[in-house]
Amino acid sequence: MTKCKRSWRGQFVGTALIIGCGLVAPEAAKLAQAAPTAISYKIVPGQSKFDISSHVSGIASHTRTMVTNSVNGVVGFTKTMQPTTVQLTVPAGSLQSNDGPSVERNQITKVTKAQIVEAGKYPNIVFKSTGFSPSSPVKGSFNGVVKGNLTLHGVTKPIAVPVRATVSGNTLHASGKITINQTTYGITLLSLMMGAVKVDNPVTLSFNIVAKK
């Protein structure tokens, strides 16, 4: 009697597993078919731009901008312009000042690399996406927020960047900007002439990239 009960139970469990697998397999196949395929775009360094703008206050108040075309990375989007991944890498040592006479630009570039971003110690500025929040999906374009981790000056912090992206043929254009505080990333605020000239804490990071399939 006990043997029969065990046999019946074993058959029941086996049948349930078979039925369950039969139900799950088609659903899994549907999900796999429904999953959007990402299209990968490689950033073109010479045609892309990344810059850092800051305000210098004091006796020589002005806005200072450091810029580079050395932007590397990949961007992934589906055919319906839903982002899947964004990865950007900027060599900190490639940043150059574009303000004032050449002598002044060279001095600003030298000070920024050595004392602010410390390019020798922290060679790369890196952004890696972790999520996306589209706000107004339109065919052929993306307008929304890209969430991710920014590594600057050796410190990694989460940020959310408003981004606009469009695709034309095999080319993707994307732009965005965000304001951060230097001290959040362990950067010592630059002060010269006993405080008569100093760089404010907020800086604006902006990018304009061109990427190809």
CA 41 to chain centre: 14
Closest CA to 65 of 110, 108, 107, 97: 97
20 and 96 share one domain: no
Q: What is the pLDDT of residue 149?
A: 99
53 and 158 share one domain: yes
99 and 14 share one domain: no
5 and 107 share one domain: no
Q: What is the pLDDT of residue 50?
A: 98
67 and 107 share one domain: yes
| CATH code where residue 153 lies | 2.40.128.110
118 and 163 share one domain: yes
pTM, to two decimals? 0.78
Residue 76 lies in domain:
39-212
Q: What is the pLDDT of residue 112?
A: 82
Closest CA to 123 of 149, 155, 91: 91
162 and 200 share one domain: yes
Q: Report the sign of the C-alpha dihedral through residues 86, 45, 63, 144, in that order.
A: negative
Q: What is the pLDDT of residue 165?
A: 94
108 and 180 share one domain: yes
118 and 15 share one domain: no
Q: How far is it between the farthest Cα atoms of the chain?
A: 99
Full pLDDT tens readout for the chain, 213 residues? 454 445 544 554 444 444 444 544 555 444 444 456 889 999 999 999 999 998 877 666 778 889 999 999 999 998 888 899 999 999 999 999 887 667 667 877 888 888 888 999 999 999 999 999 876 667 788 999 999 999 999 999 999 999 999 999 999 999 999 999 999 999 988 766 555 567 889 999 999 999 999
80 and 3 share one domain: no
48 and 141 share one domain: yes
57 and 4 share one domain: no
Number of folded domains in the chain?
Answer: 2
In angstroms, the CA 57 to CA 55 distance is 6
